[in-house]
Amino acid sequence: MSKEIIVFGEVLLRLSPPNHSKTFKSKLFEVHYGGAEANVGASLSLMGLDVNLVSSFPENDLGASAKSEMLSYGMKTTIVEQGERIGTYYYEHGASDRPGKVLYDRNHSSFSLLKKGMIDWKTIFKNANWFHFSGITPALSQDLAEVCEEALIIASEMGLTISADLNYRPSLWKYGKKANEVMPSLIKYCNILLGGADDSENCLNIKTAPEEPFESVYTKWQEHYPNLKTIVSTLRFKANASSNSIAAVLWSKNKLYRSNQFNVTHIIDRIGAGDAFMAGLIYGLTTWPDEPQKTVEYAIAASCLKHSIAGDINLSTINDISALMDGATGGRVIR
């Protein structure tokens, strides 16, 4: 029996006005389910890995719908059923120089009601070797920050590899704590970290200079958080809502690896592109543990393809991603 990857986070109902229309005038909304950790888990499951999503839904039709959607990607789910509502967000697609816009409606959701002691982490981690979370969850409440720490302590004691995406969302930190007051106590357990240099002071309480080289930034991070083995950042260039160039860097064993750069035009949906990268990173680290260059190339190719797919979740297969890595682009029809 293969070991499971455990992902912990809120599944959100997403409502988007069609055809790049504005939310305040739209009478129709396209419906998707997603959420940072769920997006990672679904993508990994589609790549053939064993994934268990830990979350909380209401015991009603929307909760059942969300669970059914998550199961459709092949994931297992461990769900605490409580409360009356599922977290929701509205995403207005941007175009050209008009940016996309997110409006959250997730207060008092079932997931927000989770507290320490409600999840049996020891049982969940029994058949697992990997735990993934993001900075979105501890941003939502003090209780959820404590649940994250509870999970991380047990995962660390049980020897799991721990990954995190800093996913800094300033608008979510509303309960009286700043990210850099909470995240350091969580990141100290992590082995793999996705974040940008601009997150250093906001999330990790580590000051860096403008334009400081990646090698210097990542060395500082590892000095503060010695459990970190791999650090990655995604990079966007010449970005607007319809097109941008993307690349990534990976830091491992005091060496920096740079990916190829992709020019992404005619973006269909950029939500979940970072989660697609994270899934590609985890897949690469588990499949090619001694090939960091191949891992970062696979991860950025997965992120590139996500921009062409509507909804939060990357539906690309291993073959799709590998083909792009090998130079196959959208210039030809596959027959």
Could you give all domains of the chain from N- to C-terminal order, each with its CATH number? 4-231 (3.40.1190.20)
What are the CA-CA distances from residue 151 to residues 106, 302, 303 (Å)? Answer: 22, 28, 28
Indicate the average pLDDT of the chain: 95
pLDDT, tens digit, for every residue of 203-250?
A: 999 999 988 999 999 999 999 999 999 999 999 988 898 999 999 999
Which residues is 252 bridged to in the sheet?
230, 255
pLDDT, tens digit, for every residue of 145-164?
A: 999 999 999 999 999 999 99
Residue 333: pLDDT over 60: no
User: 0.85 exceeded by the pTM?
Assistant: yes
DSSP 39-65: HHHHHHHHTT--EEEEEEE-SSHHHHH
- In a 13 Å sphere around the CA of 67, the CA atoms on its Cβ side amount to 17
| pLDDT score, position 335 | 59
CA distance 91 to 242: 15
